[in-house]
Structure 1
């Protein structure tokens, strides 16, 4: 019997499916076709591999200890790149690699846009860290793929530092800050806080870290703009003028605060996607609103058309299951699911 609560499941599924929905709507520029599949981009694909890497990291920690969680996510990204046929990617095993169940999903092998900073770091075979970044990119992929880090409590520490570690694998300082604050917003939203309150708390908490405070003053401006001039395309375009992670988060905060009600998620994502740099804004807003309102608030007619709906939903469920129930077992207890290690090898 699972110990995962209905609320935990609803917020995790809401965050993941909201991210995927925003990613897919963003790819259309807000002009969603009346029918047909809504495809993921590379941002959605990488978010899936982030969650898989997190689960595998937790499995490894339970069985072997001495786990570097961000390193497990790095390993997940190399599997994504290998499946995509990207040259120059290190093989971690000579046989049966890439492994795990995501490697059996054909659509994850299909190129859906570029992720240049991520690919460059993987090809260079050098994983960046918060204190030693390997690249200079401040791009939004560092944010969007890191947002699921806000869905769990990480080894007794807040999710923000872990999200920064995930972004630091391939991106520079500003993207790390956006990832840290973004994941912390998600973490507060999943506990029932209103979006505006979650943003303000995330800013205070991340700005007070003693070793490396993360400060994004544009978020306060985004909240103020949502109060004074909500849901205006010109304001959104001003707050998110480019493809930086900080811009995507500011735009997402503006959108989420402009459309705070449960029944406004569709309108919010269409607004987010309507500006020139709205693709990552929409994905980020979807993750935040999904965590805040739960999966039941997402428009069913659009979610049911998502290319990766089953993949993302399964990952969200399995993330909660692993962290709450631990079906893989550990060094002292046998697994409750004998196939879990095959699905999520913790090596």
Structure 2
């Protein structure tokens, strides 16, 4: 989570970091926070109610993001005390930091939550970046990539949905201690049965280019020609394979951000590098300047607490934290 927030904040600088001051999140980082909150609330609901459609709960989380942003046309889910939960009370998440037009359009329309209902057509990178945290939930969902695809499909089209599946599966594999090249191969193999348009080995070119021509700005620009989700993922793969050492995380993110369309590639690379190396590899001087560092840290810890300890209990047992339901209402 901290790697994702760091990549997001560095990416928007275009590789030219200010010498001081806060590093601010964009809409991509904000939405990723609400993804984690939605996953926690989905598990709370399932534990207490027994019936839950997790992608719907995450979609509901995105409507809370849109509400605190003051975006018009968002249907309130309650007449009072909505948006609820602690995350909606964080002031920085209510500040407009770039647009997410495909996500906003989908949130303003009726929810279309069936993964087989291909209403949305956007290929944009938000379908990837905001779903990357789904790679952390293997103990809850046996196929994090499939879950990421279901969440992405609530607002984006097939290519972005496939990129989300591949990205989350890479996060899962790298968090388990696998090398980046193995994560690429596993993602392509494990997702093959449910990818819609990115058949074959969609990340092979990026991996091969990193092997033959690492750290080449021209190669990165060629792999990231636009702001599509697939471009962001390909660029991130190239960056991660070009900078595999834990001591070079800063260099990797600045390199990714320097590409003309590298903003989302940097965010994706940050998430992958964080999953691969752990929080202690992230440059302290930059993490300490992150606007949403504490938010990402709390969400990551609470995600773990929810699945390990069930602080709100279940429908049959009492929990250890009487305030957990108010923090993460199960709906």
Report TM bin, short chain: over 0.9
Instruction: Report what 1:72 is aligned to.
Output: 57
Report the CA distance between 1:180 and its aligned residue.
0.3
* Aligned equivalent of 1:25, options 2, 5, 10: 10
Instruction: Report what 1:142 is aligned to.
Output: 127
Give CA-to-partner distance per residue, 1:63-106, whole Å, 9 cap, x none.
00110000001000000001011111010000000000011101
TM-score, structure 1 normalization: 0.93
Instruction: Report what 1:121 is aligned to.
Output: 106
Instruction: Report what 1:100 is aligned to.
Output: 85
Cα separation, 2, equivalents of 1:82 and 1:149: 23
Instruction: Report what 2:298 is aligned to.
Output: 314
Cα separation, 2, equivalents of 1:62 and 1:213: 35
Contact 2:127 2:161 (C-alpha < 8 Å) held by counterparts? yes
Instruction: Report what 1:324 is aligned to.
Output: 308
Report the CA distance between 1:128 and its aligned residue.
4.3
Instruction: Report what 1:201 is aligned to.
Output: 186
In the alignment, structure 1 segments of 5+ residues that lack a partner are 1-15
Cα separation, 2, equivalents of 1:126 and 1:321: 30
Cα separation, 1, equivalents of 2:77 and 2:153: 21
Cα separation, 1, equivalents of 2:252 and 2:223: 15
Contact 2:158 2:196 (C-alpha < 8 Å) held by counterparts? no
Instruction: Report what 1:260 is aligned to.
Output: 244
Give CA-to-partner distance per residue, 1:269-303, whole Å, 9 cap, x none.
00000011000000000000100100000000000
Give CA-to-partner distance per residue, 1:203-239, whole Å, 9 cap, x none.
1111134x85853634111111111100111001111
Contact 2:5 2:25 (C-alpha < 8 Å) held by counterparts? yes
Report the CA distance between 1:21 and its aligned residue.
0.5
Report the CA distance between 1:156 and its aligned residue.
4.5
* Aligned equivalent of 2:225, options 231, 241, 250: 241
Contact 1:206 1:215 (C-alpha < 8 Å) held by counterparts? no
Cα separation, 2, equivalents of 1:339 and 1:214: 44
Instruction: Report what 1:58 is aligned to.
Output: 43
Question: For 1:169, what is the secondary structure of its paired residue?
Answer: coil
Report the CA distance between 1:125 and its aligned residue.
2.4
Mapping 1:145-160, distance limit 5 Å:
145-153=130-138, 155-160=140-145
| Distance of aligned partners of 1:274 and 1:216 in 2 relative to their CA distance in 1, 3 Å threshold | farther
**What is the aligned length?**
331
Give CA-to-partner distance per residue, 1:141-192, whole Å, 9 cap, x none.
0000000000012645210110001100100000000000100000000100
TM-score, structure 2 normalization: 0.98
Instruction: Report what 1:272 is aligned to.
Output: 256
Instruction: Report what 1:11 is aligned to.
Output: none
Report the CA distance between 1:332 and its aligned residue.
1.5
Instruction: Report what 2:321 is aligned to.
Output: 337
Cα separation, 2, equivalents of 1:48 and 1:125: 23
Cα separation, 1, equivalents of 2:270 and 2:200: 20
Instruction: Report what 1:86 is aligned to.
Output: 71
